[in-house]
Amino acid sequence: MHWKKNDPTSLATLILKLFMLSAITLVTACGSGSGSSTDADQLPQAGQATEAAQATVEVPQLGAATANSASENGDETAQAPIDNAEPGLFESSYSAGFTGEVFEDGSVYVSWPAVADARGYNVYKDSEYVTTVFEPGYTDSQISKASHYYEVVAFDHAENYQTVAEGLTVELAETGTTTDTLPPHIAAGYDLVFAEEFQTGTLDTTKWNTSYLWGDELIINSEEQFYVDIKNKPGFGYNPFELDGEHLTITAIRTPPELLDKATGQPYLSGVITSYDSFKFTYGYVEARAKVPFGQGLWSAFWLLNAYYVDRKPEIDIFEHIGDDRDVTYHTYHYYDGAGKLHSTKSLETVGIDFTHDFHNYAVEWLPGKIIFYVDGQEMHSISDPNISSQEMYIIANTALGGWWPGSPDDTTPFPSRYQIDYIRAYQKRGPQEDAPLDDGTQTIPLADDVPSRSPNHIPTPEQWPQAYPEM
């Protein structure tokens, strides 16, 4: 459950909130009931749709007119409905009784179980506030995409907010991503140089290592998993890699008691794959089509790490997903300066989709002095800096558990937990690359310690693995 409060980020918001609270006090003194149609104008609504989206999603105050707000009397400026909607009933994958029914006119009726002592409910669609209602249901007629993701936040008379329904994706037409998500300039100007379609019955260990370079006993970022190295320790007693002829599934489980000693006492078993021995490259476009798991403490990732531990030791986090925040993924760049100090960008957020519901394409275009992050073929974020990696890098995919970023799994975390990968592909540009920007010594990417909202980097500390830090 997530608790949400107003976001008093401006003087105007503070004044509006004081006005609304005064109005509530006046109405209460006059004996007005909570079912009044004027309640929506008096109640402050919850803050951001997710805690992680605070920097990118501005939630309007109740009563404010926005393109995404539903009006009780109809919205004349509503977006045109999708014209190929198919009637049907959809159920939440997480909250019992949270459903969405699609009607022939393309509208969606979203309903959820009533909450005792709730004064009303704030409805969010694709991580943005839509409206406030006072019954456990809402008809959405502003349908403009093939699928929408819904969450509901209840509030009481004391202005406490609690997420009471989540995990509902309503599909109004055929959804899910395909293999045809390459941006046009990549399809036209790049060649496929590495491909793994995972169409065999076992993991191809000529392509994939199943441990980090530093082995399986060094623990980074206070993580709680042990990565089972089936390539070098095939008799471990558990194989986290399952292949069904179409997908690779990395399955994380609680460590069985008989394997705890082998797992150095780590409470969970999981898997990592790296292309270190088979494929390293400099510049290109790398993508994976994957479905991430939902659950507290899960940390699925697809990323690039420098092949040789010299100079900047860069890391490109193509995407990371924190399992209990189903509608946010993160994209980050890390590197070390000449003094051995870590620099990191903010972990850039892509929000508005339930990434645990279906497969999605995650990609990065790596250029001299620039990296561009894509989700489902659409550019989401870019970073330009002379310190962008110019070293060879290799591909990694894994599910971590625990650590200081996602926190530990708990009793709500589903096990076994499955991270599914359809394919991993890499492309490189035909012809010469553009020149890298001149490096004048300016550090535009801040020191990691000065960036509170970032993911950790993923190599051991100098004390753990000094050979990675020859400059120190």
Banded model confidence at residue 464, pLDDT cuts 50, 70, 90: confident
Higher pLDDT, 255 or 20: 255
In this predicted structure, the answer to whether residue 284 has a pLDDT above a threshold of 50 is yes
Higher pLDDT, 63 or 247: 247
Banded model confidence at residue 309, pLDDT cuts 50, 70, 90: confident
pLDDT tens digits along 138-196: 999 988 777 899 999 999 999 999 999 999 999 876 544 445 679 999 999 999 999 99
What would the mean pLDDT of 236-242 be, rounded to a whole number? 98
Banded model confidence at residue 44, pLDDT cuts 50, 70, 90: very low
In this predicted structure, the answer to whether residue 435 has a pLDDT above a threshold of 90 is no
In this predicted structure, the answer to whether residue 305 has a pLDDT above a threshold of 50 is yes
Q: Say how many CA atoms lie within 13 Å of 195 toward its Cβ.
A: 7
Question: Which fold is adopted by the domain 11-171?
Answer: Immunoglobulin-like (2.60.40)
Banded model confidence at residue 458, pLDDT cuts 50, 70, 90: confident
Banded model confidence at residue 390, pLDDT cuts 50, 70, 90: very high
pLDDT tens digits along 66-104: 333 333 333 333 333 334 445 789 999 889 999 999 988
For the chain, how many residues are written?
472
The whole-number pLDDT of residue 192 equals 96
Question: pTM of the entire structure?
Answer: 0.75
What would the mean pLDDT of 449-468 be, rounded to a whole number? 85
Give the residue extent of every domain in the chain: 11-171, 184-468
In this predicted structure, the answer to whether residue 28 has a pLDDT above a threshold of 80 is no
The whole-number pLDDT of residue 459 equals 82
Q: Identify the CATH assignment for 184-468 out of 3.10.20.30, 2.60.120.200, 2.40.50.140, 2.60.40.1120.
A: 2.60.120.200
